[in-house]
């Protein structure tokens, strides 16, 4: 995942709108409409920065995944990898669409339960699950716990009181073409068990009188823009034997910029299921765990320009930055942007944040049309990980999450207050 420069020729308005949630449109004066809501109205009502989610776009994405997988493999389910957007309202929405939920850690488990998720649909992950988290999962009635290491087996056998279904996470030795920080299937990964150790765990679990081995799990990384590694991962777990469940993980990339051309959901599913038909038992259950590709395109972040510095380069600084979007600093992820009331075109600017780091750049050499202090800036494809990784650097207040649909907007997470910054302090 490399940092891309702005295209040599200005993209069309149509190309730019293609990065926003489906259905995003322009008013006659050239202002963005997200979920039927004018961005100036959203900014006035909820302030900036603000994470705007097109609810209909998110529901449509979930249905494409769920319906597409069910049409290809009858005994199957989709589990949202909720680390991508662990927000109670998102849990609730995706549960309403019939999705299972993948949680990593006690906090995500608590949020999922607060969102009304059926505990039996939960898939519990984590490379270092504590005994307290395992107890929490079992007491909640979590459907599947993923064994990531042999210590997981020791802890579960010590504390389990009724039969607990489990999967074994396998590290298949596959390194996809993505950023090292989000590659998880290669040799030397901190996640899962290499094939020899996975076989050891499988044998031990088959002999357990407390843990029920339902199957195996594999997840090779995130923001993967090629289907071939997914096929190889399916083939790798097939070699471990016959099981009732094969959890094939997630990892499909999202479209962040003009040069990104990830496989479609349908192409991704064709690859997984096509390979599964060749190497997996036809009566097994297949689970997939999309995260980034489920939620990225549904989110748009609104900022307000604070200052413009003319020189080489020209800096447009906004009222947010790495406190609400760490994807650039952590992974070198490229984002596009536009002045929200003058969409498309313009000259290259360095769109930067307000935080005290030179690395606080939202997008280098992004095309903006005459940004001025007070203008709104819209950054598309921020639905994945921006909320998850938001923070209080420089005392920043984490932004609200606003759902929009059919011209109606509602906050589902309020903006933090300065009082929130001191709420946990003790005298």
Residue 202 predicted with pLDDT over 70: yes
- CATH for 13-54+296-422, among 2.40.37.10, 3.40.50.150, 3.90.1150.10, 3.40.50.2300? 2.40.37.10
Q: What's the whole-number average pLDDT of the chain?
A: 94
pLDDT > 90 in the chain, percent: 89
Assign a CATH topology to domain 73-290. TIM Barrel (3.20.20)
Residues in the chain: 427
Spatial contact of 113 and 93, defined as CB atoms under 8 Å apart? no
Residue among 336, 327, 346, 322 at smallest CA distance from 398 = 322
pLDDT tens-digit readout, 87-97? 999 999 999 99
Residue 3 predicted with pLDDT over 70: no
Residue among 190, 152, 185, 188 at smallest CA distance from 170 = 185
Q: Residue 174 has what pLDDT?
A: 76
Structure tokens belonging to residue 85: 């957007």
Average pLDDT over residues 321-346: 95
Average pLDDT over residues 36-51: 98
Residue among 79, 48, 55 at smallest CA distance from 65 = 79
CB atoms within 10 A of CB 27: 13
Going by the DSSP 8-state scheme, the letter that residue 387 receives in this structure is T
If DSSP codes are grouped into helix, strand and coil, which group holds residue 392? coil
Q: Residue 6 has what pLDDT?
A: 55
Query: What is d(CA 214, CA 165) in angstroms, rounded to the nearest whole number?
Result: 6
Domains 13-54+296-422 and 73-290 share a fold: no
Q: Residue 183 has what pLDDT?
A: 66
Residue 187 predicted with pLDDT over 80: no
Average pLDDT over residues 322-350: 95
pLDDT tens-digit readout, 212-269? 999 999 988 889 899 999 999 999 999 999 999 999 999 999 999 999 999 999 999 9
Residue 179 predicted with pLDDT over 90: no
Residue 7 predicted with pLDDT over 70: no
pLDDT-wise least confident of 6-20, 36-50, 378-392? 6-20
Residue 11 predicted with pLDDT over 90: no
**CA distance from start to end of the chain:** 46
- Annotated active-site residue 87? The verdict is no
Residue 9 predicted with pLDDT over 80: no
- Long-range contacts for 90-93 (Cβ within 8 Å, ≥24 apart)? 90/53, 90/58, 90/115, 90/295, 91/115, 91/116, 91/117, 92/116, 92/117, 93/55, 93/58, 93/59, 93/62
Query: What is d(CA 38, CA 402) in angstroms, rounded to the nearest whole number?
Result: 13
Average pLDDT over residues 129-134: 97
Q: What's the pTM?
A: 0.94
Please tell me the number of Cα atoms within 13 Å of 230 on its side-chain side. Answer: 28
Residue 110 predicted with pLDDT over 70: yes
Q: SS3 breakdown of the chain: % helix, strand, coil, rounded to 5?
A: 30, 25, 45
Query: What is d(CA 19, CA 10) in angstroms, rounded to the nearest whole number?
Result: 15
DSSP calls for 79-118: EEEGGG---HHHHHHHHHTT-EEEEESHHHHHHHHHTT--
Name which residue leads in pLDDT, 303 or 344. 303
Q: Would you kindly state where each structural domain of the chain is located, as residue ranges?
A: 13-54+296-422, 73-290
Name which residue leads in pLDDT, 363 or 182. 363
H helix and E strand count, the chain? 13, 21
> Which one of 37, 356, 386, 404 is the catalytic residue?
356
pLDDT tens-digit readout, 349-399? 999 999 999 999 999 999 999 999 999 999 999 999 999 999 999 999 999
pLDDT tens-digit readout, 276-332? 999 999 999 999 999 999 999 999 999 999 999 999 999 999 999 999 999 999 989
For residue 390, CA distances in Å to 41, 46, 85, 210 come to: 24, 17, 11, 39
Q: 4 pLDDT band (50/70/90 cuts)?
A: very low
Spatial contact of 294 and 268, defined as CB atoms under 8 Å apart? no
């Amino acid at each position: 995942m490399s940092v891309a420069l702005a295209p040599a020729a200005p993209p069309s308005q149509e190309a730019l709108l293609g990065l926003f949630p489906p259905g995003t449109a322009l008013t006659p004066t050239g202002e963005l409409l997200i979920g039927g809501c004018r961005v100036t109205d959203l900014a006035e009502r909820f302030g900036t920065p603000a994470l705007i989610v097109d609810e209909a776009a998110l529901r449509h994405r979930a249905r494409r995944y769920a319906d597409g997988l069910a049409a290809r493999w009858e005994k199957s389910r989709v589990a949202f990898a909720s680390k991508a957007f662990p927000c109670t309202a998102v849990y609730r929405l995706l549960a309403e669409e019939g999705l299972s939920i993948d949680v990593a850690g006690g906090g995500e488990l608590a949020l999922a339960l607060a969102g009304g998720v059926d505990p039996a649909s939960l898939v519990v992950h984590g490379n270092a699950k504590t005994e307290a988290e395992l107890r929490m999962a079992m007491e909640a009635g979590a459907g599947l716990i993923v064994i990531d290491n042999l210590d997981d087996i020791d802890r579960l056998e010590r504390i389990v009181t009724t039969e607990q279904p489990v999967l074994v996470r396998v590290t298949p030795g596959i390194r996809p073409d993505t950023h090292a920080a989000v590659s998880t299937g290669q040799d030397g990964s901190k996640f899962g068990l290499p094939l020899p150790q996975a076989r050891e765990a499988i044998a031990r679990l088959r002999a357990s009188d407390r843990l029920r081995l339902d199957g195996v799990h594999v997840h090779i990384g995130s923001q993967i823009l090629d289907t071939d590694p997914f096929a190889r991962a399916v083939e790798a777990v097939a070699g471990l034997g016959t099981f009732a469940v094969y959890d094939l993980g997630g990892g499909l990339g999202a479209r962040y910029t003009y040069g990104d051309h990830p496989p479609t959901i349908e192409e991704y599913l064709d690859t997984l299921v096509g390979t599964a038909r060749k190497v997996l038992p036809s009566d097994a259950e297949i689970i997939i765990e999309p995260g980034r590709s489920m939620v990225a395109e549904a989110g748009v972040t609104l900022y307000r320009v604070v200052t413009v510095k003319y020189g080489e380069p020209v800096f447009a600084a906004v009222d947010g930055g790495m406190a609400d979007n760490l994807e650039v600093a952590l992974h070198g992820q490229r984002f596009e942007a536009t002045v929200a009331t003058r969409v498309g075109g313009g000259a290259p600017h360095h769109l930067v944040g307000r935080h005290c780091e030179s690395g606080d750049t939202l997008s280098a050499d992004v095309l903006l049309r005459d940004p001025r202090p007070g203008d709104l800036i819209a950054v598309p494809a921020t639905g994945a990980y921006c909320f998850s990784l938001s923070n209080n650097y420089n005392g920043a207040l984490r932004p609200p999450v606003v759902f929009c649909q059919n011209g109606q907007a509602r906050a589902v997470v309020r903006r933090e207050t300065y009082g929130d910054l001191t709420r946990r302090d003790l005298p």
